[in-house]
């Protein structure tokens, strides 16, 4: 069937909205994935990283003499050598006056167990690891402050003595304490809790990895890196290695999961690149799981003292929090960003008279924290929704009714929060009521030692992280715009270029669907090129912060419209008619090279094939004027006017075994609104995968450090409990579709929305099941030990429930 029309609009809408498998899945299923460690380069050497065995100490000696003389090691780089050849890494989000404001590669003080000190290179990984063990390190231990409490205590050991404090800096968001206090005076009821979220390790199935290849002949460095942000890696490496940016090419091949953990260049990755430059050889480093769990940047790690004030009618008056964020040994490139994001996202989908937060970012002798899926918003959800459920419990109100009473309504939108964000569109109460209805049909009864309950929470997800002006106003040294580039090749095939990265989410397929849809061509004509700084448009933030479909997709919507118009104009010129008098004819199975993929003049039988139009364009034959561009490429830089906000309501049903304290999530459901969906199957994959990670955060995972000596306690996947099949129930996803009015295509982001609400939702369900311990549900993970201890400490005998 031909999808021809004479209206000038080839966009038939047949690709956007289709649940297609990810285009690279067939290759991955065949075992033909191409991850960093799979790449073969000639004459490759292997690196092992020498790491600190202690949480705090002064490096007195680095002696690699024996490592080099007694093994086959080719090179050892310690702090002195690294310092001679590098500069520190830049940092994108700093607090005023923050010291340090960059990341040292050459260190004389170690501040966490696993911190990279140097690197050793040999013929094989095993030999490099052997040699690394023979580096003689002398470290004079210093006292340790492993937690924020210890770091803020009077007389605490100081990580940066020149600062005189472990407080790296502070920020205030939303209304001032005075304004909040004035309104709080009118409150009929105030709920105050200390609410905290543990440190977690991203744990992508593929750990980090680098293959760096410095070619002395051309003085160019090629870096294959498992990363979400190749352009920023390139930029940071240029600074660190004192190179011009155009001497470096960074390629992200297949990336085996990231979740924020591969958003930033780590110091050890830069050291491996330096080793390649010193040797003029390719050098590979593949992180092992222990390094991934202990040495890589971690996520979350904050505690808050938070208050919710209500009037006598149960209306929210104020919400405020004093947030203490655990930066770890030094600020990652994200620095205090996640803690500030918590303050900004605190209000969620509710109306408050006043709301605000203060943030203290604190150095500790533990791994630095950085971006993790849900970036501060999960922590905000935990604070806000726990307080709301506790208020409902204390006041004897129905928690759904309390939320409904205070929810932002459609008539309020667009709605500007006290912290200054403007929510664009949606129907929050409708989502709440739908999820509540789903809860009613899913009630399960308690039996014996098992108490059952369910809970519902709401959240708003900041998506399409931009515009550039907002990031500038927040003091973030990053651009928010995305660029989309479309090339129609001489053979008629279509190549799409974007700076976002496929990390498993299937963005390459979603972008192809968008371009096919808007250009009115078969999907099979399109190839999407991502991940190579030499080929793709610049992107600062790339695939982070739920921005790939909204921003890269938005840019490509516009670029596709332009290219469609251009092809039509060229065809019309060739046919000697007006562009409005041209029909586009294509059969779904057609190749771009067949003559039946063609434009037809409506008032004559004249046709010109798609391929001929493309071929002639590249020859420069059908130009109108000498000014007209020749290359058949269209590039659009898209910087949206504002953020676009997705939202969701999550429901969980749990079983609490009162004898063991084990919590089982038996059922989970969400009502989610991310506007128009490009590919519902990929969207669902993001939401369900996010919920599973949220379940891990709620019940299982913790990157704990020994409070005395700062040693990491979870060093293998046997100690660090990730969700397995038995931990994740069937998850029902229902959608509302409120199109974004500021994003072409009406898309909103959804990469993080699934991961944000599960801990608060599961806590609400536990509180419903065993209300006598509801007040103690203030910290995650809610392990069997935690729940059993709370039950044991509660005065109510279990049988009385």
Q: Footprint of another protein on residues 59-118 (CB under 8 A)?
A: 64-65, 68-77, 81, 84
The region of 102-110, 203-211, 450-458, 472-480 touching another protein under the rule CB under 8 A is 203-211
Among 2, 9, 29, 280, binds another protein (CB under 8 A): 29
Chain positions 324 to 363 lying near another protein, rule: CB under 8 A, are none
Cβ neighbours for 562, distance < 8 A, ≥ 6 positions apart: 634, 636
Each residue 752-781 as x (binds another protein by CB under 8 A) or -, in order, gives ------------------------------
Q: Are 18 and 597 in contact (CB under 8 A)?
A: no
38 contributes a contact to another protein by CB under 8 A: yes
Place of tokens 């790296």: 168
The region of 355-363, 378-386, 396-404, 684-692 touching another protein under the rule CB under 8 A is 684-692
253 contributes a contact to another protein by CB under 8 A: no
Among 10, 16, 24, 335, binds another protein (CB under 8 A): 24
Taking the least distance from each CB to another protein, the nearer of 168 and 682 is: 682
Taking the least distance from each CB to another protein, the nearer of 204 and 520 is: 204
Among 15, 93, 259, 423, binds another protein (CB under 8 A): 259
Among 96, 396, 730, 795, binds another protein (CB under 8 A): 730
For residue 520, the minimal CB distance to another protein (Å) is: 27
523 contributes a contact to another protein by CB under 8 A: no
Paired strand residues for 697: none
Cβ neighbours for 522, distance < 8 A, ≥ 6 positions apart: 516, 586, 588, 589, 590, 592
Q: Tokens for 518?
A: 């808007």
Pairing of strands 136-141, 109-110: unpaired
Taking the least distance from each CB to another protein, the nearer of 26 and 604 is: 26
717 contributes a contact to another protein by CB under 8 A: yes
Per-residue burial over 133-157, b if 16 or more Cβ lie within 10 Å, else e, is ebbebebeebebbbbbebbbeeebb
Closest CA to 335 of 517, 533, 578, 91: 91
Q: Are 327 and 335 in contact (CB under 8 A)?
A: yes
Taking the least distance from each CB to another protein, the nearer of 83 and 579 is: 83
For residue 31, the minimal CB distance to another protein (Å) is: 2
Q: What SS3 state is found at 800?
A: helix
The region of 210-218, 606-614, 725-733, 780-788 touching another protein under the rule CB under 8 A is 725-733
244 contributes a contact to another protein by CB under 8 A: no
Sign of CA dihedral 38, 334, 673, 725: positive
Residue 236, judged by CB atoms within 10 A of its CB (0-12, 13-18, 19+), counts as buried
For residue 519, the minimal CB distance to another protein (Å) is: 26
17 contributes a contact to another protein by CB under 8 A: no
Alpha helices in 19-121 (DSSP H): 25-29, 65-69, 79-85
Closest CA to 253 of 454, 425, 32, 583: 32
Each residue 163-202 as x (binds another protein by CB under 8 A) or -, in order, gives ----------------------------------------
21 contributes a contact to another protein by CB under 8 A: yes
Pairing of strands 482-488, 663-673: unpaired
For residue 728, the minimal CB distance to another protein (Å) is: 5
Taking the least distance from each CB to another protein, the nearer of 258 and 738 is: 258
728 contributes a contact to another protein by CB under 8 A: yes
35 contributes a contact to another protein by CB under 8 A: yes
Taking the least distance from each CB to another protein, the nearer of 61 and 724 is: 724
Cα 614 → chain centroid: 38
Among 326, 379, 634, 684, binds another protein (CB under 8 A): 684
- Give the single-character DSSP code of 369: B
The region of 29-37, 326-334, 345-353, 431-439 touching another protein under the rule CB under 8 A is 29-37
Q: What SS3 state is found at 727?
A: helix
- Taking the C-alpha atoms of residue 9 and residue 16, their distance in angstroms, rounded to an integer, is 15
The region of 49-57, 231-239, 320-328, 721-729 touching another protein under the rule CB under 8 A is 721-729
Q: What is the 3-state secondary structure (H, E, C) of 110-136?
A: ECCCCCEEEEEEECCHHHHHHHHHCCE
Taking the least distance from each CB to another protein, the nearer of 288 and 659 is: 288
- Taking the C-alpha atoms of residue 364 and residue 152, their distance in angstroms, rounded to an integer, is 9
Tell me how crowded residue 97 is: count the other CB atoms within 10 A of its CB.
Answer: 10
289 contributes a contact to another protein by CB under 8 A: yes
For residue 158, the minimal CB distance to another protein (Å) is: 32
Tell me how crowded residue 437 is: count the other CB atoms within 10 A of its CB.
Answer: 12
Taking the least distance from each CB to another protein, the nearer of 61 and 629 is: 61
Q: What SS3 state is found at 62?
A: strand
Chain positions 206 to 235 lying near another protein, rule: CB under 8 A, are 206-207
Q: Concatenated DSSP letters for 245-256?
A: GGGEEEE--B--
Tell me how crowded residue 410 is: count the other CB atoms within 10 A of its CB.
Answer: 14
726 contributes a contact to another protein by CB under 8 A: yes
Chain positions 778 to 797 lying near another protein, rule: CB under 8 A, are none
Taking the least distance from each CB to another protein, the nearer of 123 and 311 is: 123
Residue 17: its H or E element? none
Cα 457 → chain centroid: 21
Taking the least distance from each CB to another protein, the nearer of 24 and 547 is: 24
Taking the least distance from each CB to another protein, the nearer of 207 and 744 is: 207
- Taking the C-alpha atoms of residue 295 and residue 468, their distance in angstroms, rounded to an integer, is 32
Tell me the number of residues near another protein by CB under 8 A. Answer: 71
Paired strand residues for 47: 121
Taking the least distance from each CB to another protein, the nearer of 33 and 565 is: 33
Among 10, 15, 16, 22, binds another protein (CB under 8 A): 22
Closest CA to 760 of 665, 671, 658, 652: 652
- Taking the C-alpha atoms of residue 777 and residue 782, their distance in angstroms, rounded to an integer, is 8
Among 186, 288, 401, 792, binds another protein (CB under 8 A): 288
Q: Are 383 and 342 in contact (CB under 8 A)?
A: yes
- Taking the C-alpha atoms of residue 184 and residue 162, their distance in angstroms, rounded to an integer, is 39
- Taking the C-alpha atoms of residue 428 and residue 460, their distance in angstroms, rounded to an integer, is 9
Alpha helices in 324-427 (DSSP H): 337-345, 377-395, 399-406
521 contributes a contact to another protein by CB under 8 A: no
For residue 41, the minimal CB distance to another protein (Å) is: 13
Chain positions 643 to 682 lying near another protein, rule: CB under 8 A, are 681-682
Chain positions 488 to 507 lying near another protein, rule: CB under 8 A, are 503-506
Among 175, 213, 236, 254, binds another protein (CB under 8 A): 254
Among 725, 793, 799, 800, binds another protein (CB under 8 A): 725
Among 113, 692, 697, 736, binds another protein (CB under 8 A): 692
Query: What count of Cα atoms within 13 Å lies in the side-chain half-sphere of residue 83?
Result: 7
Paired strand residues for 528: 496
- Taking the C-alpha atoms of residue 611 and residue 608, their distance in angstroms, rounded to an integer, is 8
Taking the least distance from each CB to another protein, the nearer of 46 and 485 is: 46
Each residue 113-142 as x (binds another protein by CB under 8 A) or -, in order, gives ----------x-xxx---------------
For residue 207, the minimal CB distance to another protein (Å) is: 8
Taking the least distance from each CB to another protein, the nearer of 345 and 703 is: 703
Find the distance separating the first CA and the last CA of the chain, reported in whole Å. Answer: 65
Taking the least distance from each CB to another protein, the nearer of 30 and 43 is: 30
- Taking the C-alpha atoms of residue 222 and residue 249, their distance in angstroms, rounded to an integer, is 5
Among 88, 116, 174, 204, binds another protein (CB under 8 A): 204
Among 108, 176, 716, 796, binds another protein (CB under 8 A): 716
């Amino acid at each position: 069937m031909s999808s021809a029309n004479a209206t000038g609009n080839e966009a038939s809408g047949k690709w956007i909205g289709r649940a297609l498998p990810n285009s690279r899945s067939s290759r991955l299923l065949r075992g033909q994935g191409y991850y960093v460690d799979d790449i073969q380069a000639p004459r490759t050497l292997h690196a092992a990283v020498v790491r600190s065995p202690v949480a705090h100490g002064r490096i007195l000696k680095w002696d690699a003499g024996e490592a080099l003389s007694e093994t086959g090691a080719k090179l050892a780089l310690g702090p002195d050598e690294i310092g001679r050849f590098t500069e520190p890494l830049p940092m994108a989000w700093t607090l005023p006056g923050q010291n340090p404001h960059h990341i040292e590669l050459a260190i004389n003080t170690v501040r966490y167990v696993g911190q990279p000190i140097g690197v050793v290179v040999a013929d094989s990984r095993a030999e490099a690891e052997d040699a690394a063990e023979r580096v003689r390190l002398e470290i004079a231990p210093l006292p340790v402050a492993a937690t924020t409490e210890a770091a803020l205590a009077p007389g605490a050991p100081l990580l940066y003595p020149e600062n005189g404090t472990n407080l790296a800096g502070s920020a205030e968001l939303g209304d001032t304490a005075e304004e909040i206090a004035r309104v709080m005076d009118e409150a009929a009821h105030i709920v105050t809790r200390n609410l905290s979220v543990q440190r977690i390790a991203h744990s992508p199935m593929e750990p980090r990895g680098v293959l760096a290849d410095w070619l002395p002949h051309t003085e160019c460095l090629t870096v294959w890196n498992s990363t979400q942000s190749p352009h920023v890696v390139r930029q940071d490496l240029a600074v660190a290695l004192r190179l011009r940016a155009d001497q470096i090419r960074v390629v992200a091949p297949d990336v085996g999961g990231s979740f924020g953990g591969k958003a930033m260049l780590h110091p050890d990755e830069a050291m491996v690149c330096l080793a390649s430059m010193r040797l003029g050889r390719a050098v590979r480093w593949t992180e092992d799981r222990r390094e991934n769990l202990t040495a890589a940047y971690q996520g979350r790690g904050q505690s808050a003292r938070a208050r919710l004030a209500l009037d006598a009618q149960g209306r929210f008056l104020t919400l405020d929090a004093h947030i203490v964020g655990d930066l770890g040994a030094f600020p990652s490139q994200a620095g205090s960003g996640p803690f500030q994001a918590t303050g900004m996202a605190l209000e969620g989908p509710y109306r408050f008279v006043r709301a605000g937060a203060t943030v203290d970012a604190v150095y500790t002798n533990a791994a630095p924290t950085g971006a993790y899926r849900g970036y501060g918003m999960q922590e905000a959800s935990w604070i806000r929704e726990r307080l709301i459920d506790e208020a409902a419990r204390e006041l004897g109100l129905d928690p759904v009714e309390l939320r409904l009473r205070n929810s932002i309504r459609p008539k309020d939108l667009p709605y500007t929060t006290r912290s200054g964000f403007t929510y664009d569109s949606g129907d929050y109460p409708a989502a709440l009521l739908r999820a509540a209805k789903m809860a009613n049909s899913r009630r399960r009864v308690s039996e014996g030692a098992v108490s059952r309950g369910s809970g519902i929470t709401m959240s708003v997800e900041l998506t399409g992280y931009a515009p550039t002006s907002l990031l500038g106003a927040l003091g973030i040294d990053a651009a928010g715009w995305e660029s989309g580039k479309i090339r129609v090749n001489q053979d008629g095939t279509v190549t799409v270029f974007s700076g976002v990265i496929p990390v498993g989410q299937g963005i390459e397929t979603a972008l192809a669907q968008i371009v096919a849809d808007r250009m009115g061509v078969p999907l099979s004509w399109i190839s999407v090129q991502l991940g190579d700084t030499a080929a793709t448009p610049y992107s600062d933030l790339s695939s982070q912060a739920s921005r790939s479909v909204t921003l890269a997709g938005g840019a490509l919507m516009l670029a596709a419209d332009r290219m469609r118009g251009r092809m039509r104009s060229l065809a019309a010129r060739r046919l000697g008619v007006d562009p409005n008098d041209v029909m586009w004819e294509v059969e779904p199975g057609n190749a771009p090279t067949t003559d039946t993929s063609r434009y037809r003049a409506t008032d004559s039988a004249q046709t010109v094939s798609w391929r001929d139009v493309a071929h002639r364009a590249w020859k420069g034959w059908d130009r109108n004027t000498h000014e007209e561009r020749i290359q058949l490429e269209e590039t659009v830089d898209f910087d949206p006017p504002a953020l676009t906000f997705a939202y969701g309501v999550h429901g969980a049903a749990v079983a609490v075994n009162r004898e063991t304290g084990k919590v089982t999530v038996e059922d989970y459901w969400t009502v989610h609104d991310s506007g128009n969906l490009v590919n519902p199957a990929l969207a669902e994959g993001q939401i369900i995968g996010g919920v599973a990670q949220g379940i891990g955060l709620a019940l299982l995972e913790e990157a704990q450090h020994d409070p005395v000596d700062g040693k990491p306690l979870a060093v293998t996947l046997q100690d660090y409990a990730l969700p397995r099949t038995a931990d994740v129930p069937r998850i029902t996803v229902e959608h509302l579709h409120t199109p974004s009015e500021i994003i072409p295509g009406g898309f909103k982001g959804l990469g993080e929305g699934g991961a944000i609400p599960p801990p608060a939702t599961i806590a609400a369900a536990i509180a419903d099941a065993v209300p006598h311990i509801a007040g103690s549900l203030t910290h995650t993970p809610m392990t069997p030990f935690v729940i059993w201890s709370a039950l044991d400490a509660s005065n109510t005998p279990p049988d009385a429930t």
